[in-house]
Each structure stands twice: as C-alpha cells, then as structure tokens.
Amino acid sequence: MSLFGGVIPVTGITFLMFCIFAILFGGYALGRITIKGVCLGDAGVFVVALLFGALFYPSLEQQLLFNGADFGEKALEIVESLGLILFVTSVGFIAGPKFFGNMKKNFKSYVLLGLIIILAGGLAAVSCIFMGKAIGFGATIDSLDGFVAMIVGLLSGSLTSTPAFSAAKATVAPELTSLVSVGHGIAYIFGVIGVVLFVQLIPKLTKANMDEERAKLIQATDDISKKKVFNGKLLELDGHGFAVFALAAVVGVFLGRIKIPMSSAGLSGTCFSLTTTGGCLLASLVFGHFGRIGKLNIMPEQSTLKLFRELGLVLFLVGAGIPGGADFVKYFDVMYFVYGIIMTIVPLIIGYLFAKYVLKLSLLNNLGAITGGMTSTPALGTLIGTAGTEDVAAAYAATYPIALIAVVLVSQFIIILF
C-alpha cells in the first residue's frame, strides 16, 4: 500500500515517520493562526494529529502490521513516551536551579492550590454522576457502575492525567475498563485545548501588563535563587549535555517504576507510582538544583534544553493525538463531551480565583501552578511562550506532584463511593 494513490510511495515505519513530520508541519502552521491575540500554538499539532487519527488511523494500522500483529498502537506509545520524557526532563532541568527555593517559600500555597484544583474536579465529576442519574446515563450505558467508570475516565482525561487513568482502570471491575478508556479519550481533547486557551485568555481578559507580571516573577525567583558559583573548570562529558540529560532520564524512568501499594492486596492491587513523567521530573529537578557532582557538570546547555523541551512536547502531542482522534470518532457522545468540558472548566476557574484572591499569587505564578494542578504538559509549553520566560516552569513543577497524588486518590474514592 502507498500513500496518496502511489504518488508518494511510503510504507511501514517510513509511513509513520512521513505522517509524524507531515502532522508537525500542518500543526505548526495551524498553531500560528492568531485571532484577537489568541492562537493554538503547539496545541495546533494536537488538533492536526486528532484529525489525522480520525481520518487515517486504519491506514496507519495496516502499514504497521508485522507478522499479523498490530504494531501501530505500540509505535505511537513509543512516540508519546519519548516525547514526554524529553519534555518533562527538560522542564525539570530548567526549573531545578530555582525550584527548591520557590517550593520552600510557597510550599503551603502550592499544596493548597493543587488540592483545591483536584477536589474541584472531583466534585464536578460527582455532580455529573448525579446529573446523569437524573437525565439518563447515556446512549451506550445502562448501569450506574458503567456510568461511574465512564465519568472517572472523563475526569482523568479532563485533567490529562495518565496516573489517574491507570488507577481507575485498576479499581473498576474488569468488564468496565474499556469504559474508563473511552471516557479518557473523549475528555482528553478538551482537557488539552481548554487549558491551552485558558492560559492565553486570562492575561488578555484581565488586561495584564505582561512586562510587569514577568518582572514580578523573575524578581521573586531571583530572590530565592542562591546557587553557589563554582570557580573552577567543570568536566563536560559532551559539549551539549546530552549525556547528563540521558542519565537524568534513566534515573527518572527507574524512579517512576517504583510502586507503592495503596491497598491490602499489595502489589497485586492498586499501587501509586510517580510514573515516567513524575520520575523524570523529580530526577531532573535534583540534577538541575545541584548542577554538578564534584567537578562533573550535570547541567545540560540551555540551548539543548529548549530544543528537547519543544521537540518532546510536539512528539507527545502527536503520539497522544492520533489514537485519540480515532477513539473520539468511534465513541463520541455529546453528553459525555459536555461532562468532560465541565470537569475541565470548573477546576480551572476555581483554581485561578483561589490562587488570585486567597493565596495572592502573581498572575504568572498563578497560571504556572494551575498548569501543574491540571497536570497539563501542553499548557505549560504554551504558557512559557505567552509569559516570555521559563521561570513559570518552577510553579508547574511545584504543584504537579501534589496534583498527581490527589487525582489518583480522588478517582479511586469516586469509584468506591458509588
């Protein structure tokens, strides 16, 4: 088989590579379209990937059949995971030098905000369950257990949380895991795009002076960054820092695989783990904080980190977007999509207002923490561009672990409650 009727003959893995780069080109072009100062940015790649998945996913699956086995889904998982590792490891290194000082200064604020966002999402999910019971579960579900499984999947998708998704699948009855997957896929789309648009719209709606907001953030992070300067010459393993970046990623993957039992069933039951995302983020934060081991430099070049951050983000969006588009078309139901929108918007608004009026966080610290509380990797990438400074990554990194743990627990509690 060949693409476009044989005009461009590509097959197998080459077909996948062709598709990825075509999606990147189209996505960047779409992301540049600006309406009243708001654009999709990198999320344009996600939209194009969704469209590609909806239209061409069967062709991709056919091209990636090896010995009768479908390699298509696994190939996209590899693309998604590689992108995620590149992105979060870069973010950790960038935030590391100022992270622990920022965390120490604002620890209570970040913990509270992370909890408030996830609890708001959980309450929105419970409200949707009662709403569903009142008006009917949906076109494809006729039981409360099935509807709860769908709602919890929608919650994990709304918060773009893979750990919550995994925990929900492990907690529901085996015959209901597919409903969790469907819900996650339906809500994930607005979960990504909604937060991306939110972090761009809020500064415009509040008519914020971005130069002043940026100065506040930079001043705050400069005040708490007291990293010692090493006067001697540091040993470099390579000129760009690829080696130490790879080391941090290796350490992070191992940390992410550590499982902590959360039930009496032990490792055979529900477990909590940092996952690859949390493990790589933690490892690179530590590496970035210390910067060196003895005379060995363990901090990659800033140019390397910026490149890997951008490359990782768009690869992640392609890997997640293609199968997401296919599932969206297959399982779409208007009410499920509406529930997902509710579970995205409610925690966003409550989190923003709580951070602004109760915690008194500056705008960029507020939005950075919200992207962490929503566990939204794409939104952080957009916010960095909107803010014009990478210092917002410190607030994301501080709130993210709290939200990561809270969303897993809330998802499981909802299942147990109903």
Token pair, residue 119, equals 């609890």
Q: How many CA atoms lie within 13 A of 282 on its CB side?
A: 17
Look at 76-80, 132-136, 237-241, 310-314 and tell me which has the smallest mean pLDDT.
Answer: 132-136
The pLDDT value recorded for residue 121 is 93
Average pLDDT of the chain?
Answer: 81
Q: Is the pLDDT of residue 3 over 70?
A: no
Please give the Cα distance from 107 to 367 (Å, whole number): 16
**Confidence at residue 263, expressed as pLDDT on a 0 to 100 scale:** 58
| Bigger pLDDT: 59 vs 224 | 59
pLDDT for position 91: 81
pLDDT digits (tens, 9 = 90+) for 168-177: 776 777 777 7
pLDDT at 301 over 50: yes
Whether pLDDT at 1 is above 50: no
pLDDT at residue 175, as a whole number: 74
Question: Model-level pTM?
Answer: 0.72
What is the arithmetic mean of pLDDT over 192-215? 87
**What is the per-residue pLDDT for 389?**
83
pLDDT at residue 331, rounded to an integer: 67
Is residue 69 very low, low, confident or very high in pLDDT (cuts 50, 70, 90)?
Answer: low
Q: What is the pLDDT of residue 264?
A: 56
Residue 224 has pLDDT above 70, yes or no: no
pLDDT of residue 267: 47
Q: pLDDT at position 166, please?
A: 62
**Stretch 43-47: mean pLDDT:** 82
Among 66-75, 102-111, 342-351, which range has the highest average pLDDT? 342-351
Q: What residue ranges do the domains of the chain occupy?
A: 4-224+237-417
Question: Sorting pLDDT into bands at 50, 70 and 90, what band is 167?
Answer: low
Q: State yes or no: pLDDT of 230 exceeds 60.
A: no
